Structure 1
Amino acid sequence: MRVVSLVPSLTEAVAVTLPGVLAAATDWCSHPVDLDVPRIGGTKNPKTERIAALAPDLVIANEEENRPADLDALRAAGLEVLVTEVRDVPGAFAELARVLTACGAAARPRWLEEAEAAWSAPPPVAARRPTAVVPVWRRPWMVLGRDTFAGDVLARLGVDHLYAGHAERYPRVALEELRAAAPDLVVLPDEPYRFTAGDGPEAFGGLPCALVSGRHLTWYGPSLAEAPGLLGGALRAALC
């Protein structure tokens, strides 16, 4: 098999499971850290003609990360495109298994079994579940809304994000409204916007802030095995 990946988390999953299968990946595919394959542009602007010239057996994509027009162009070039759709943790496991099988895996990899086991335990019981707002962008401020994988990750760790019932999946919300919502916690990932100790927490006054890895909050792949422990620890530390 020769596979082109347009999704960073799927790139990691395929590279770890099936070394040598990836024919190319996006500029944003940062894991594994030693990944050495041709780069074919970003997730939102892949070089479709270059991908077609590579003649892969399969292109793997995601309905949220990749634009329909780019995927249509790849199909028009005669390429097979597998598109994932992930809204929660169980769905991530199912889609990962589907992708790896399509890429030639004969059995489920050990890391996938370990990840499922890591997420099988219930979250710690708390007297009251803490609430959070989860910005994913700044200028303008955008937060997690309804029906998101990251929102389900937090819910399974015992944290309810306040915009889970919003009509949009990634609504724009004024900073004043976010502050007025008075969450117990502000969760600031380092992607897609790179929030840091000096860029993000200062906007929320005295509210507790948890700076977390976007790879552990939003990626579905090998990082899922360690995400419950690392994310859970960061959230608890911020709430103390």
Structure 2
Amino acid sequence: MTSSSPPPLRLASLASSNSDILAALGATGWVVAADSHSDAPGLSAAIRVGPDLNIDLDAVALSRPDLVLASLSVPGMERVVDGLYERGLPTLVLDPVTVANTLDDIRLIGKTIGLEQRGKEVAAQLGADLARLRATYARPPRVLVEWWPRPIIAATRESWVTQLLSGLGAVNALATRPGRSSPLTLNEVRDAAPDLIVCSWCGAKKLRPEVIEARGLGVPVIAVAESGLGRPGPRLLEGARQIAAALEGLDLTQTRLCGAGTAASQIA
């Protein structure tokens, strides 16, 4: 008896974004090892091999994966990837910096594990759902996405956040600042002139937008779970929907914050 379904691979997923993609593809039942942060449904049978920056590489090897899905979206994971290669483990490394890269990764994972058509369908649906959230504003709202509060670290130009916000009709308030993320002083946040600040702290047990509000910037703050914004995968739609709703409620007739000696007209 023949079947059109591919034989299940033994997969190891070492980043939450990869696990979310596998869940959307219907393949979490194939995962034999996963990082400790992955919370996608269907991972109950997978052994946990530690947090993304401190993966127990020997435990990954002992799980005998046919393929390891690694990522460089978390700074510092280069060491993990090097360790996988040293152990001769078959590894697919994902490194998305845009939404388009993320859609490509969904298709790539689908194709690599024998679910090519499903990968195409998931990517197409995510792209269409994101496109429907686009709005038009008199001027594009400036949004700052904060990854950590002390020191303040926020998403900069080479982050999927930049294209995600552009797709909503907004702009990353730090789009001219190089890199994927950057530490900021409070004055630098002020100079970025955000209309909205998104609290999406990575690895935090609890988001506390009131900490950002207490800085006295007078900018609306919303909380978006890291799972909906910090993971380049299908769940970006969750964060995009929350930001889109917040943008609809903004009063963009108000003068934006300016740094010392900076005229509003210069940054409008």
The yes-or-no answer on 1:229 pairing with 2:238 is: no
Q: Report the counterpart of residue 6 of structure 1 in structure 2.
A: 14
5+ residue gaps, structure 2: 1-8, 253-268
Q: Report the counterpart of residue 114 of structure 2 in structure 1.
A: 104
What amino acid sits opposite 2:72 in the alignment? E
Q: 1:81 to 1:175 in 2, by over 3 A?
A: same
2:219 is paired with a residue of what secondary structure? coil
Higher relative contact order (CA 8 A, sep 6+): 1
Distance 1:212 1:125 in 2: 22
Which string of whole-angstrom CA distances, capped at 9 and with x for unpartnered residues, describes residues 79-112 of structure 1? 1111112111111111111012212214225443
Distance 2:137 2:66 in 1: 49
Alignment of structure 1 residues 200-239 onto 2, 5 Å:
200-237=212-249
Query: What displacement does 1:196 show?
Result: 1.9
The answer to whether the 8 A contact 2:12-2:60 is kept is yes
Counterpart among 65, 69, 80 of residue 60 in structure 1: 69
Q: 1:166 to 1:219 in 2, by over 3 A?
A: same
The answer to whether the 8 A contact 1:60-1:82 is kept is yes
The answer to whether the 8 A contact 2:13-2:33 is kept is yes
Q: Report the counterpart of residue 23 of structure 2 in structure 1.
A: 15
Q: Does 116-125 or 75-84 show the bigger shift? A: 116-125
2:181 is paired with a residue of what secondary structure? coil
Which string of whole-angstrom CA distances, capped at 9 and with x for unpartnered residues, describes residues 111-165 of structure 1? 4332121133472111111112222112111111121112211121122122111
The answer to whether the 8 A contact 1:24-1:40 is kept is yes
Q: Report the counterpart of residue 144 of structure 2 in structure 1.
A: 133
Identity of aligned residues (%): 26
The answer to whether the 8 A contact 1:26-1:39 is kept is yes
What amino acid sits opposite 2:54 in the alignment? N
Q: 1:19 to 1:177 in 2, by over 3 A?
A: closer
The answer to whether the 8 A contact 1:130-1:159 is kept is yes
What amino acid sits opposite 1:79 in the alignment? L
5+ residue gaps, structure 1: none
Distance 1:88 1:206 in 2: 30
Root mean square deviation, CA, Å: 2.2
Distance 2:130 2:223 in 1: 21
The answer to whether the 8 A contact 1:132-1:160 is kept is yes
Counterpart among 47, 52, 55 of residue 56 in structure 2: 47
Distance 2:133 2:216 in 1: 30
Report the TM-score, using the length of structure 1 for normalisation.
Answer: 0.89
* Bigger CA radius of gyration: 2
The answer to whether the 8 A contact 2:21-2:234 is kept is yes
Query: What displacement does 1:228 show?
Result: 3.8
What amino acid sits opposite 2:159 in the alignment? T
1:79 is paired with a residue of what secondary structure? coil
Distance 2:179 2:236 in 1: 26
Alignment of structure 1 residues 149-228 onto 2, 5 Å:
149-193=160-204, 194-228=206-240
Q: 1:202 to 1:126 in 2, by over 3 A?
A: same
